[in-house]
Amino acid sequence: MFFRKALMAVAMTAALSTSALACTTLVVGEGATEDGSFLIARAADSNALKAQHFVIHPATKNVKGMYRTKDHNGATAFEYPLPENGLRYTTVPNWQTQIHGAVGFNELGVGFSGTESIFAKDEFLKIDPYNEATGITEDDIPEVVLPRAKTAREGIAILGHIVETIGAGEGFGVVMVDQKDVWYFETGTGHQWMAQRTPKDKYFASGNQGRFQEYDPKKTDEFMGSKNLIEFAQQHGFYNPKTDGAFNFSKAYTRDDGRDRVYNDPRVCQIQAMLTPSLKQKSDDGRNFPVYLKPDQKVTLNNMKDVLRNHYDGTAHDPYGKELRGDELWRPISVFRTYESHVMQVRPWLPKEIGSVIYLSWGMADLSCYVPYYQGLDAVPANHGIGTKDADDESIYWAYRKLQTLVMTDYDKLAPIVKKAYRDFEAKTAVEQKKFEDAYVKLVKTDAKKADKMLNDWNLRVIKDAETLTRDLTNQIFTIRTHDIQEGIYFKNNKNKD
């Protein structure tokens, strides 16, 4: 019975993913974190069959021509000039297109995480629709921005200019970070946008909805936006300064209806409850949730992982447990159809090769392991570049996904085994990581080449160890399920002899 219900739930998830893309984002300013680092967390949710790869794009010189989405079978016919001299950068793209790169850093330490699918008002889109023919979409942003952006702010400006002049092909939210700032960008309508620098002592959470409110174009250190952002809303009757007071971006541009009350609001409310438990608010009051909040305690790397793994654990809205419930109305942060999630960390006081790191989780965050991928990693194992919609025995994606699928056949019994093993691995790795980083900082001052080899040897070993653990866990869980199924259908004769 558990197995049949689990398969039904997986099938329902796959069906939903074709029509509903969804992600969750958390951005924490450096003054709100325990160690003073910038922290960004995001879950990318679409389809469990969307295998992901890890790609390191080399720097380019004297290049001419155009980047064309259609060359990759992307969503639109967007095109944009290639940078003459492109920076080295990393992405985590899907297997079909090798774009839609999810997360990455370039060689200067500028980081990108995107995108969060968000939605403008239907009635405003009739006036300024998305450019679904040739506009930029989440497929294209890392491929256009990361090879040319020297700062996070410049990355925001590049993307904003494209939206204003060519148009957005869909609604999205994007994070850009460097050693000085972390910014979040939201589209309004097809050609309108705004971005805000995350306050040093606060955090920002989003779950598939435009969240920005305040916008002051005079405060150029804090805000960026399209040239006529306020005037455009006023011109078309979506903002009246006499009756509305101060301009509110979300109120003017963003969809806010019953679809948000159960699908989006509860996730943001949950994140704020986890980081600021002193704040009491209703889960369906999303328009009134604070845009930026101070955490009650300084935020840690493990806090970020806990957020991404959360599914209203232990509450009436937890869709997992003794029975998988695909009909739960509150959409959790961690869902089976998450194809990757990550925590980005930027520590400006360290060499950028180790100061910028992505903790990457393949598949469903709740049943996966967060493995560090340093910016200074020169290459990744070959199985990071393979994997399709069909399960296989080699790719890194399917190594994790097969274990997760198996666990979901009896989540209540099997999930604790996997979760403990991964948490123990992460704790052990964190101790080793501190020793490695201390040694790297000392060595790189005298021998950069040896330091680079140390980084790559250590990082590749950890990646391999996590994969080995995953494959061992898969065999362990298969053994348990084999025993359980046999016990349930063990036929015996009347003398209990075979």
262-300 pLDDT, tens digit each = 999 999 999 999 999 999 999 999 989 999 999 999 999
> What pLDDT band is residue 240 in, cutting at 50, 70 and 90?
very high
What's the CA gap between 371 and 369, in Å, rounded?
6
What b/e sequence results for 183-216 when a residue is b if at least 16 CB atoms lie within 10 Å of its CB, and e otherwise? Answer: bbbbbbbbbbbbbbbbbebbbbbbbbbbbbbbbe
Q: What was the pLDDT predicted at 4?
A: 37
Query: Residue 42's beta-bridge partner residues?
Result: 25, 342
Q: What was the pLDDT predicted at 3?
A: 37
> Mean pLDDT over residues 181-192, rounded?
98
- Give the pair of three-digit tokens for residue 181: 């700032």
Walk across the sheet containing 292-293 and list its strands.
292-293, 203-206, 22-28, 38-45, 338-346, 356-362, 371-374
Residue 361: which residues within 8 A CB-CB, separation 6 or more? 308, 340, 341, 342, 368, 369, 370, 371, 400
Q: What was the pLDDT predicted at 495?
A: 60
Place of tokens 């194992």: 381
Q: What was the pLDDT predicted at 259?
A: 86
* Average predicted confidence (pLDDT) for the chain: 94
Catalytic residue numbers, as ranges? 23
Q: What was the pLDDT predicted at 14?
A: 37
> What pLDDT band is residue 496 in, cutting at 50, 70 and 90?
low
What's the CA gap between 222 and 136, in Å, rounded?
25
What's the CA gap between 399 and 384, in Å, rounded?
11
Q: Answer with the residue of higher pLDDT: 451 or 326.
A: 451
Q: Could you give the residue ranges of the DSSP H alpha helices within 166-291?
A: 229-235, 241-244, 249-253, 258-263, 265-275
Q: What angle do CA 301, 37, 216 make, to 5 degrees?
A: 115
Q: List pLDDT tens digits, range 133-171.
A: 999 999 999 999 999 999 999 999 999 999 999 999 999
In order of 74, 146, 169, 420, the CA distances from 77 in angstroms are 8, 20, 10, 46
- Give the pair of three-digit tokens for residue 333: 């942060």
Q: At residue 77, does pLDDT exceed 60?
A: yes
Place of tokens 């890890």: 54
Q: What was the pLDDT predicted at 396?
A: 98
Which amino acid would we find at residue 91? T
Q: What was the pLDDT predicted at 492?
A: 66
> Mean pLDDT over residues 223-231, rounded?
98
Q: What was the pLDDT predicted at 19?
A: 36
> What pLDDT band is residue 206 in, cutting at 50, 70 and 90?
very high
> Mean pLDDT over residues 462-475, rounded?
98
What's the CA gap between 99 and 136, in Å, rounded?
12
